[in-house]
Each structure stands twice: as C-alpha cells, then as structure tokens.
Amino acid sequence: MADIFELFRRIRKTEEPKGPPEYIIVGLGNPGDKYEGTRHNTGFSAIDFIADRLSVKIKDLKFKSLVARCSVDGTPVLLLKPQTFMNLSGQAVKEACDFYKIPPERLVVISDDVNLDAGRLRIRVRGSDGGQKGLYNIIYLLNSDEFPRIRIGVGKKPREDYDLADWVLSRPDEADAAAVASTFPDVWEAVRMIVDGKTEAAMGAFNGKKKTSNDAEESRS
C-alpha cells in the first residue's frame, strides 16, 4: 500500500506547472565532472536532491544554466544550476530573474558555507555574502541582498594558512560528506516553507541544527 501512495505522490509532483515560475530555486556549484562531489558543489547536490523529490531532471539549457520547470506544493518554480562557474553565478541568476520578472525576495539560493561545521544549516532572509563568491556575484548583479539563502556547512579549513580555493574545491572525507548529505531532506523542507512564505519559521526549525554521519546512516536505514 505504501508503494501505491508513493506512486501517487510522484505523479502529483510531476504535473506540469500552471503559469510562469513564481520562485526561482538556485543551487550553486561549478559545472564539469572534475568538480562533482567537491565542497563548492554542495548547492548542486542539494538541488539535485530536490529535483529527485519532485521527479524532474534539471537538464534543459537556458539562462546560462541547466533548468527544470516544476511545482512545489502547487507553486510553479524554476530549479536552476548556473553553468557559468561559481564566481559568475549572478549572470545566470539575473538573466532568469529578469526574464520571469522575479523579485529578489522570491529567489532562493542554496550554497556551501566553509564557516559552518559540516552538517549545519544557516537560513537567512537577507544578508551579506559571507565570503561565498557565488553569493557575492548574485548580490552584486542584482544590486540587492534581499533574497533568502540556505547555507550548508561543509566544514572549516583545517588550519588558518590552508588555501581557501584548494579547500572548497576538494572533496570532504566520508564522515563530513555523509553529514552534508544528511542535511538535504531539511533543505528540501526549508525550500517548501520558504515558497509557502514561512522563511522565519524555516529559520527557527533548521538554523543551528547539527547533522552528523550518524544521521545519514539513520536516514538510509
């Protein structure tokens, strides 16, 4: 019986959205196989998880990005993975926002955060880039920081003199990778809440909540 309910859930989620997107959900990362699984591609991994929950493939090329049209609980959205490389993410985001006339407050950006321990989330309704180059470029080109963002902790540099670029472009160890992946269900729920106009509630529910490799094992069992 549970399998039947799951089938109906997926059929409902794959229905064509009615009307243009009301929200754009962006996952940040770098295109190309060499960057897959790196800390800096956590946003890509998170939005791929969301696409899987919605039974869609992010594969259409538009706005210098791979995109997919779908609905989140009945609200039409655009899932977007910029293909511009991280430092130029704003080019793709601005092009999509301009085309659909999406204001910053209906843009949701998912990114990695090296200032947070692996497995910890930080959701904000607005704010600075915090040193994340993709967020910096989006803020710069939109001329606004008034958009919700979900930052996923990927672990801090092991020492102060460690090159930041080398750190974010490296792959986490097994424990940290599992802790990061275990946040994805919470990221999905946070996106649902934000699209429903409940960003403050999402902040209260998930900010500071630490995920570990043990949580990842439990989610797979």
Give the mean pLDDT of 50-72: 97
- 29 vs 75, 86, 102, 116, 125, CA distance in Å? 25, 6, 21, 17, 21
> Looking at residue 220, what is its pLDDT?
40
Which pLDDT value is given to residue 218?
A: 46
Tokens of 81: 């993975």
* 40 assigned to active site: yes
Phi/psi zone of residue 101: left (φ > 0), alpha (ψ -120 to 50 degrees), beta?
left
Q: For residue 63, is pLDDT > 90?
A: yes
Confidence check: pLDDT of 191 > 80: yes
Q: Cα–Cα distance between 1 and 68 in angstroms, integer? A: 30
Model confidence pLDDT, tens digit, residues 120-174:
999 999 999 888 999 999 999 999 999 999 999 999 988 888 998 999 999 999 9
The two beta strands, 107-113 and 23-27, are parallel
pLDDT at 115 over 60: yes
Is residue 32 scored above 90 in pLDDT? yes
- Residue 83 to residue 93: CA distance in whole angstroms: 10
CATH of the domain at 181: 3.40.50.1470
Please name the residue that has the structure tokens 């800096």. Answer: 40
In this prediction the pTM is 0.87
Which domain does 171 fall in, by range? 2-220
Distance (Å, whole) CA 81 – CA 97: 13
Whether 207 contacts 170, CB under 8 Å: no
Could you give the percent of the chain with pLDDT greater than 90?
A: 81
Q: What is the pLDDT of residue 85?
A: 94
pLDDT the model gives residue 201: 96
Number of domains in the chain: 1
Selecting among 21, 26, 27, 40, the annotated active-site residue is 40
Q: Which residue has the higher pLDDT, 48 or 160?
A: 48
pLDDT at position 16, please?
A: 66
Structure tokens at 69: 């049209």
Q: Which residues pair with 124 in a beta bridge?
A: 149
Q: Range with the lowest mean pLDDT among 18-22, 104-108, 203-207?
A: 18-22
Q: How far apart are the C-alpha atoms of 109 and 194, rounded to whole Å? A: 11
Q: How far apart are CA 173 and CA 150, in angstroms?
A: 22
- What dihedral do alpha carbons 176, 178, 181, 182 form, nearest 10°? -110
How much is the pLDDT for 8?
53
